[in-house]
Amino acid sequence: MFWARSLRRQIAQRKIAEDKLNEQLLFVQTLLNSLPTMVALRDSEQRITLCNQAYRDAFLGAGSSSEELQNMPETLRNSVLEEERRVWQTGQDLEGAGSNLRADGTPCHVIYAKRPYRDPDGNMLGVLTVLTDVSRIKEAEERARQAENRLTQITDSMPGVVYQYLWQGPGKGRFLYASQGASEILGASRQDLFNAESGGEVFGFTEEALQDFVSKVANHAETLAPLDLEVKVKRPDGDRYLQVRGNFVRQEQQALILNGVIQDITALKQQEYELREARAYAEQAMQARSRFLATMSHELRTPISGMHGMLELLQMSELNDDQRFMVRNVVTSTNNLLYLVNDILDFSKIEAGQLQLNYQSSRLQTVICDAIRGHATLAHNKGLHVVLEWEHHVPDWADIDGVRIGQVISNLLNNAVKFTEQGGITIQVSYLSEQLTISVSDTGIGIAEEKQALLFTPFEQVESDINRRFGGTGLGLAICEQLVCKMGGALTLTSKAGEGSCFRFTVPLTNPQWDPPALADTEWWFFSDDTNLEAAMVRQGAKLRYLGANELSRSLEGLLLADQRWLEQALGGEWQSWLQHSALKGIIASPDEALRGRIGEQKWWRLGLSPLYPDLLLESCHELLQERVTPILPALAEKLGGKVLVADDHPVNRALLARQLAILGIEAQVVEDGEKALRAWQGQQFSMLLTDCHMPVMDGYALTKALRAAGVTAPIIGVTADTSEEASARMVEAGMSDMLLKPYPLDILRQMLAHWLAERTPTRNAVAPVVGVTGIQAERWLALFGDELTARAMAVEYLDSNRQDGEAMMAALICHDASALVETAHRIKGAARMVGLEGLASQAAMLESAARLKRLDELDDLVSTVQRLMTAIAHDIGLWLDEKSTT
């Protein structure tokens, strides 16, 4: 019994011990399985007696431990066995690194440690191996190595030096990285850069240059602004220029890293120097070219001017039919020569970028119709019909370069007349979306589509026989296209060979303005089917009452606008007698009249329909409404009077001016140089000086300066054939009042002389107005406003507005406020045009332009002129108003 109880107790104790051992073994196994590292214990037979889950997953998989070594590559298996034997033999730990294959066949990079496993008595039971999987670390290292290799390859292949610099303050820091270009660009190896105390000494700076460079870098480092510096460095093979660029990046511990690139720009600097030299040479050549063009302009235009003027005077003399025919041919040849000279000079200016636009407030009807008139006459001579279609919404005024727009129109019309043998020419003027569009269509020879591009190429003609048949330089359309483009527009062509052409150009209009309808509240009998004539009258506000042929009666009263062809059909050959004996007055539209003329008494005008000029139509209506006669040729009908000094070294020009002035009723004294002109002016009284600008001894510029310095305020007109901007600037600088460009027709000379001689009238007769001025004022204001009561009220309102504008103008001048002066001059101009004071409006427009362009040296004189005119006008209107109140 005792033995049995003892046995049971021993069995129970052993069971408890076994359970504890199993618990300990389970704990150890669980602990091993939780380790990410791989653990294995091998006995002396290389059998795995213990391993954790990480080892089993990596190397055993579903296989047994005996298969592990068999699955290894032979070289790896031999290495493992050799290391195991070494540990068994030496009893020492062993560490290493290597690669193995996982159970799934993928490579596994490990670091490992092998150490003997002993029992408590020190007997070696096996080898314990602990392996750490570093595959991801190896892969990351490989990716980093590849990235570094790529970066090195990229930076080493780039021109210049790619660098990274640790900035530690002025003169402190070191290079962290530099590409292979360092040896070529900086003359130092990368190791030299890394070893340099601050890095700056390897550049080759002088001490002063180094301090300047460090100071600039410090400024950029303080603000973290991008670095972009050009530096000059010394090299054994000569000076070099480097461009240092970079961006600062603030990293941990407030460290500043500068990443950037250094490039050798020595060749670029040399190119810049050569470019500057080439530009300077080109500018000198351009200046020489400009001087040549100015000289050629003067030398070519001067004889042409003499020819042109003398021919004009010859045409005014008594000639027989043969002589008149020959003179007309010579005039045509002279004009053609002038066109060629102008084309060449204009194209040269455009090509040199020297052509400047001169925008001024201009009346569109005047600019466009003036450009058409001369060419329409040539078209009539060829038997061509000319039509002008004027769209209803076209503004009356706009800020344009009237000369250049007229030049484009003239060139297009010149081609239309030249290349059209039968049929006609149509000019259309329209306005839409602040764009002015003018088209010129003809029924001429047309142009094949594949050859149209040649038209806008300088010196090109579509066909060689065209040049032989019609002449020309091939420059005209090229110039037109350049001018239109410079004005912000476009020139287009639509054409078919044998069917005619249509050239259309569009330019933007600034500051468009519309006048009130000039014929509002007027009624006209209308006897015509001409739609252009009807539209022109309606556009001006006229009320039309339409007549039939059976309604014509001498008892009709008022204003009549009739088509001559309709009158001839209705009244036969007696139509003119019928007009003279009727109670009507008006305008007869005739396809045979080129411009306009009188029919018998002053109450009838004959107005041309081919084309119908809206400006002449309006002028004719005003003449009839105001019941006064305006001479058809005012340039020759009115004698200007006065005494003018003429200075010109060219004998033909002197003789021409003397003859022209005599025809205009002006006494002239002519001299051949500036010195003689100066002496003549000092000894006599003259109203004006006309001087050539290019003369020996003393030229026109020096003469003008001398006279202005002596206090002479009389108008001085520069007469020149030089169209350059430099010539215009020299005239303004010298103090000339205006410019007369050779060649010029007699009427242009008359207009200029009348303008400047009239400008001096208010200063001589400011207190005593000319006789009859009150009648003129009454006529003007009554024509504008109808009844006398309204006219006087509006005149008083105008005087008050005029006074306020005058005060504002003087205040703006005193304060040197150009913008206020522009605004005030614009108001004065607009008000003057509203009441028909074109002289004041013209001077106000000049003041507005000068103030807008800030030509400060002109403002005093222009303001003084505008003020004198306003004072004289106020005086005249005041006399009219006082005249009525005292009667």
Report the C-alpha gap between 742 and 553 in whole angstroms: 53
pLDDT of residue 566: 92
Same domain, yes or no: 509 and 534: no
pLDDT confidence of residue 329: 60
Q: Are residues 382 and 506 in the same domain?
A: yes
Predicted confidence band at 231 (pLDDT cuts at 50, 70, 90)? confident
> How high is the pLDDT of residue 629?
40
Which residue type is seen at 102? R
Contact of 734 with 701, CB cutoff 8 Å:
yes
Phi, then psi, of 8 in degrees rounded to 5? -65, -40
Percent of the chain scoring above 90 in pLDDT: 16
Residue 339 included in any domain: no
Kindly state whether residues 174 and 196 are assigned to the same domain. Answer: yes
Give residue 885's pLDDT.
46
Q: Is the pLDDT higher at 411 or at 3?
A: 411
The runs of H, that is alpha helices, within 510-556 are: 531-539
Question: What value does the mean pLDDT take over residues 624-636?
Answer: 50
**pLDDT: is 241 or 2 the higher one?**
241
The 10 Å CB-count burial string (b at 16+, else e) for 428-460 is bbbbeeeebbbbbbbbbbbbeeeeeeebeebeb
Under the banding of pLDDT at 50, 70 and 90, the label for residue 465 is: very low
Query: Do 493 and 620 lie in a common domain?
Result: no
302 domain-assigned: no
Q: Which residues form the domain of 421? A: 356-513
Residue 635 has pLDDT above 60, yes or no: no
- In this structure, the answer to whether residues 375 and 505 fall within a common structural domain is yes
The 10s digit of each residue's pLDDT in 161-191 is 888 888 888 878 888 888 877 777 777 777 7
Segment 57-85 mean pLDDT = 67
Report the C-alpha gap between 295 and 345 in whole angstroms: 11
Share the mean pLDDT of the chain. 79
CB 86 within 8 A of CB 98: no
Q: Which of 208, 243, 264 is the last residue of a domain?
A: 264
| Domain match, 31 and 173 both | no
Distance CA 875, CA 755 (A): 20
Report CA-CA distances (Å) from 150 to 138, 520, 691, 829: 18, 85, 79, 74
537 in the same domain as 403: no
The answer, yes or no, to whether residue 886 has pLDDT greater than 50, is: no
Q: Is 458 left (phi over 0), alpha (psi -120 to 50) or beta?
A: beta
Within a domain: residue 332? no
User: Of the residues 601, 630, 659, which one is the last residue of a structural domain?
Assistant: 630
Nearest in space to 693 (alpha carbons), one of 660, 738, 661: 738
Please tell me the total count of domains within the chain: 6
Does pLDDT of 521 surpass 80? yes
Same domain, 673 and 722: yes
**Is 283 a member of any domain?**
no
Lowest mean pLDDT among 83-87, 386-390, 408-412: 83-87
- Report pLDDT for 453: 67
Closest CA to 794 of 803, 805, 784, 804: 784
Please report the pLDDT score of residue 469 as a whole number: 46
Amino acid at 193: L
Average pLDDT over residues 710-739: 84
Residue 73 has pLDDT above 70, yes or no: no
What confidence score (pLDDT) does residue 785 get? 52
> How many whole angstroms separate alpha carbon 185 and alpha carbon 533?
82
% of the chain exceeding 70 in pLDDT = 80
The answer to whether residues 197 and 245 touch, using CB atoms and an 8 Å cutoff, is no
Q: Are 596 and 622 in contact (CB under 8 A)?
A: no
What contacts 473, CB < 8 A, 6 or more positions away?
Answer: 340, 343, 344, 459
User: Residue 256 pLDDT more than 60?
Assistant: yes
Cα-based distances in Å from 209 to 234, 240, 347: 11, 13, 51
Q: Are 460 and 535 within one domain?
A: no
Tell me: the pLDDT tens digits for 106-160? 778 888 888 998 888 888 888 888 888 888 888 888 888 888 788 777 777 778 8
Flag whether 400 is in a domain.
yes
Same domain, 621 and 641: no
Q: What CATH number did the domain enclosing 591 receive?
A: 3.40.50
Confidence of residue 637 (pLDDT cuts 50, 70, 90): very low
DSSP state of 231: E
pLDDT higher than threshold 70 for residue 770: no
Q: Is the pLDDT of residue 449 over 70?
A: yes
Convert 377-433 into a string of H (helix), E (strand) and C (coil): HHHHHCCCEEEEEECCCCCCEEEECHHHHHHHHHHHHHHHHHCCCCCEEEEEEEEEC
How sure is the predictor about 601, in pLDDT bands with cuts at 50, 70 and 90? low
pLDDT, residue 214, reads: 83
- What digits encode the pLDDT tens for the residues 19-65? 776 777 677 667 777 777 888 888 888 788 888 887 777 777 655 55
pLDDT level of residue 765 (50, 70, 90 thresholds):
very low
Query: What's residue 75's pLDDT?
Result: 66
pLDDT for the residue numbered 1: 61
pLDDT of residue 766: 29
pLDDT score for 74: 66
CATH of the domain at 798: 1.20.120.160
Same domain, 726 and 809: no
DSSP 670: E
Residues 467, 476 contacting (CB under 8 angstroms):
no
pLDDT band at 238 (very low <50, low <70, confident <90, very high): confident
CATH number for 743: 3.40.50.2300
Residue at 836 is within a domain: yes
At 578-590, the pLDDT tens digits run: 888 888 999 999 8
Residue 611 lies in a domain: yes
16 within some domain: no
Same domain, yes or no: 648 and 742 = yes
Question: CB–CB of 608/594 below 8 Å?
Answer: yes
Distance separating alpha carbons of residues 134 and 293, to the nearest angstrom: 85
Give Cα separations from 828 to 238, 560, 845, 847 (angstroms). Answer: 69, 36, 9, 10
CATH number at residue 199: 3.30.450.20
| 58 within 8 A of 133, measured Cβ to Cβ | yes
